[in-house]
Structure 1
Amino acid sequence: MRKITFVFIIVLGYIANAQTGIIKGLVVDKQSESPLPGATIELLNVEQAIGVITDIDGYFTLENVPLGRQMIRVSYIGFESITIPNIVVTSGKDAAVNIALIEAFDRLDEVIITSETSKAQAINKLTSVSARQFGVEEVTRFSGGRSDVGRLAANFAGVSSPDDSRNDIVIRGNSPVGLLWRVEGVPIPSPNHYSTLGTTGGPVSALNPNLLKNSDFITSAFPAEYGNAIGGVFDLGFRKGNVDDYEYTGQVGIFTGVEAMAEGPLGKNKGSFLVAGRYSLVSLLGIGAGGTSATPNYYDVSFNVDFGKSKLGNFSLFGIIGFSDIEFLGDDIDEDDLFAAEDENSKADSGFGVIGLKHQINIGSSSFLRTTVAGSFATNEFKADRFIEKKHSARTYYKIY
C-alpha cells in the first residue's frame, strides 16, 4: 500500500509540473546592442507575483509560468520599461523572447524654433515613419496566411496582393519588383519557391517563420541603408537558438510541408545553434495543390549558428537554401487546370540560397562594429514541349527554354 501511495504522489507531482512552462530570453540596449545585466522581468496578470533578473550576459529564465498567453514587463534603471503581451507558453517548448530597451531621457524646458514653410516637406509628419514591426506569432496566427510573411503584409494599410496564387506585394500601387528583401542586413533574391528571375514573389514562401525574430516591414521614407528599395522593404532577422536546453520541434502543414527543427546550446560562451528543414507534404502524398493536378516538389533548409562571445567578438553563421520543381503533363491534367494545357508538357525548376558570416564586436560601452560577408544565388529554368497535332499518332513539337 505504501508503494502505491508513493507512485501516486510522483505521478501527481509530474502532472503539476507539466502545467507550467518557461519564458527565457535576452535583454539588450537597443542602441549599442550590449547586454543589460540586472534588468527586472515580471510576469503580469497572475495571482502570485513571479519575477527574475538578467545575469551578467543579459539572459533570463522565468520558470513555473502558467500555460497560455502571458504578459511580461521588463524594466531597467535609466531605460524605458516595456510590456510584451501575448507570449504563448506551452509545456513542451520554452518561449523565447529578445528584448531591446530604449534609454530614457529627462524632459527639459521646450525650445520653439520657427521658420518659413517648405513645400518640399509633407505636412503629415507620420509619412516619414511608415514602418511596421511583426513577429513570428503574428505570422503563424494570421488566418489564411499559410505561415507566409508576404501574405501577412498584404493585410497592412496601403498594401495589396495581385491574387491568391502568389505572395507578390503591391505597396501604394508600386510594382512588386520594387520590393527589397533583406536577411540579417544582406539584400537577397526572392526567398520563394517557384520564383522567376526578376520578381520578388512566388507561390510558396521559402522563409521559415519559426526561425525569424521580430522584423521590420517598411513601406516608405526608407533610411539611407535601403538604397535599392523603391516599393518597400522586408528587413528580416534570425533568432538565436536556446542557450540552455536542447529542443526538437516537428509540425505538418499543407503549404509549409513536413518540418523538423532542432536548437540548443553550443560551446561555453553562450553560443547556440538553430536549424530547420521542410519538405513538401503534397509531394509525399503524391497529390496536386493550388489549382493544378500536378504535384509540386519543394524543400528548404534554414539555419543560424551563434558561436558566442569571445575576445575577438561574436561570430554567427546563417543561411537559407531552397529548391523546387513541378512537372505538368498534358495527358494527366484536369480540364480546369489553371497552369497547364492538354497539348503541352512542361517543367519548371527554381532554386534560391544565401549564406553569410556575421561578426560583431563592442567598441567601448556605447558603440559596436558589425561586419557581414554573404553570398547568394538564384536559379530558374522552364522547359516546354508543345504538340502541334496531338490527335495524330505522329506528333510534332517544339521546345521552349
Structure 2
Amino acid sequence: MEDMDTHERLMGVSIKVDGTSFATLTDSTGTFMLNLPVGVYSINASSMGYQKFTQYNIEVSSGNDRIMHFELQPETAQLEGVTITVNRSASASGTDMITPISVQKLTSQEIKSNPGGNFDVSKVVQTLPGVGLSNGVGERNDIIIRGGAPNENVYYLDGIEIPVLNHFQTQGSSGGAQGILNVHLSKVLN
C-alpha cells in the first residue's frame, strides 16, 4: 500500500472485502494480510486524506498467496488563494523524456476474463480505446497507440520493463504471433 504520487508506504489504511466481514489495517510497512476462502472478491482500501480505491474481481485460489499492490491517490483540497512569486535567477528544467504520456494497468484477472483475449496481453491491449492494429487484420501483436509506431510501446511486469513480449517477432517490429507471458503467474502489467 503506497501513495500514488510519492510511493511512500502507507500505515493504517483500512482494507475491507465487499459483501463479507473480512477487514484489516495496513502495518507500518504498508502491508496487510487477509485469510479468505476460495472465490472472487472486490477489495476496498481507504484512508483519511486519500480517495477510496477498489480492486474488482480479485481471484483467491487454494494453496497460493495472492499478492496485491494498491496505490492510493491523495484527495485534492480546495485552497482559499495562491500566491506565485518568480525567482528570475533560477533556471528552468525540462521534462523527463522518459516519462510516459499514458499508462494502462491490467491485472491478471482482467487479462484472463477478457473475451477473445485468449490470455494474451497484446490481444487484450488491442481492445482498449485508442489502440489500433498495425496490419489491420489482428494476426500479429503489433499495436499502434494513438497514431504512434509499434516500437514506441513499452510493457512492464511488476515494475520491470519487458523488452520482448511476443514469440516469433520479425525484424523492425514489436509484435509476434503469440505473447510469451503466463498471466496465471503475473500480478499487474502496465
Alignment TM class, shorter chain as reference: 0.7 to 0.9
Q: What code does the residue aligned with 1:94 have?
A: D
* Structure 1 segments unaligned to the other structure (5+ residues): 1-26, 112-128, 217-401
1:85 matched to 2:56? The reply is yes
Q: What code does the residue aligned with 2:69 have?
A: N
Question: Among 59, 70, 74, which residue is 2:45 paired with?
Answer: 74
Question: Among 171, 177, 186, which residue is 1:197 paired with?
Answer: 171
CA deviation digits over 1:312-369, x for unaligned, max 9?
Answer: xxxxxxxxxxxxxxxxxxxxxxxxxxxxxxxxxxxxxxxxxxxxxxxxxxxxxxxxxx
**Equivalent residues of 2:130, 2:146 under 8 A apart:** yes
Tell me how far apart the structure 2 counterparts of residues 50 and 181 of structure 1 sit (CA, whole Å). Answer: 34
Structure 1 partner of 2:5: 31
TM-score when scaled to structure 2?
0.74
Tell me how far apart the structure 2 counterparts of residues 181 and 39 of structure 1 sit (CA, whole Å). Answer: 29
Tell me how far apart the structure 2 counterparts of residues 55 and 84 of structure 1 sit (CA, whole Å). Answer: 20
Q: What code does the residue aligned with 1:62 have?
A: L
Question: Among 53, 61, 66, which residue is 1:95 paired with?
Answer: 66
Q: What code does the residue aligned with 1:107 have?
A: Q
Q: What code does the residue aligned with 2:123 have?
A: R
1:170 matched to 2:144? The reply is yes
Q: 1:196 to 1:97 in 2, by over 3 A?
A: same
Q: What code does the residue aligned with 1:144 have?
A: G
Structure 1 partner of 2:27: 55
Q: How does 1:166-245 map to 2 (within 5 A)?
A: 166-172=140-146, 174-181=148-155, 184=159, 186=161, 188=163, 190-216=164-190
Q: Secondary structure at the match of 2:181?
A: coil
Q: Secondary structure at the match of 1:87?
A: strand
Tell me how far apart the structure 1 counterparts of residues 37 and 11 of structure 2 sit (CA, whole Å). Answer: 25
Q: Secondary structure at the match of 1:41?
A: strand
Tell me how far apart the structure 2 counterparts of residues 130 and 214 of structure 1 sit (CA, whole Å). Answer: 16
Tell me how far apart the structure 2 counterparts of residues 187 and 93 of structure 1 sit (CA, whole Å). Answer: 25
Q: 1:154 to 1:110 in 2, by over 3 A?
A: farther
Q: 1:172 to 1:50 in 2, by over 3 A?
A: closer
Stretch of structure 1 that moved more, 33-42 or 165-174: 165-174
Tell me how far apart the structure 2 counterparts of residues 82 and 197 of structure 1 sit (CA, whole Å). Answer: 42
Deviation at residue 140 of structure 1 after TM alignment: 1.6
Q: What code does the residue aligned with 1:32 have?
A: T
Structure 2 partner of 1:277: none
CA deviation digits over 1:172-205, x for unaligned, max 9?
Answer: 45543443445646572x3221112321000121
Q: How does 1:104-115 map to 2 (within 5 A)?
A: 104-109=75-80
Deviation at residue 169 of structure 1 after TM alignment: 0.7
**Equivalent residues of 2:156, 2:189 under 8 A apart:** no
Structure 1 partner of 2:108: 136
Q: Secondary structure at the match of 1:42?
A: strand
Query: What number of residue pairs does the alignment pair up?
Result: 170
Tell me how far apart the structure 2 counterparts of residues 34 and 54 of structure 1 sit (CA, whole Å). Answer: 13
Tell me how far apart the structure 2 counterparts of residues 108 and 202 of structure 1 sit (CA, whole Å). Answer: 51
Tell me how far apart the structure 1 counterparts of residues 161 and 59 of structure 2 sit (CA, whole Å). Answer: 30
Tell me how far apart the structure 2 counterparts of residues 208 and 43 of structure 1 sit (CA, whole Å). Answer: 27
Q: Secondary structure at the match of 2:68?
A: strand
Q: What code does the residue aligned with 1:142 have?
A: N
The structure with more radius of gyration: 1
* Aligned-CA RMSD value: 2.8
Structure 2 partner of 1:157: 129
Q: 1:37 to 1:158 in 2, by over 3 A?
A: closer
* Structure 2 segments unaligned to the other structure (5+ residues): 83-100
CA deviation digits over 1:239-258, x for unaligned, max 9?
Answer: xxxxxxxxxxxxxxxxxxxx
Structure 1 partner of 2:88: none
Structure 1 partner of 2:95: none
Q: Secondary structure at the match of 1:72?
A: strand
Among the aligned pairs, what percent are the same residue? 30
Higher relative contact order, chain-length normalized (CA < 8 Å, sep 6+):
2
Deviation at residue 34 of structure 1 after TM alignment: 2.5
Q: 1:191 to 1:36 in 2, by over 3 A?
A: same
Q: Secondary structure at the match of 2:109?
A: helix
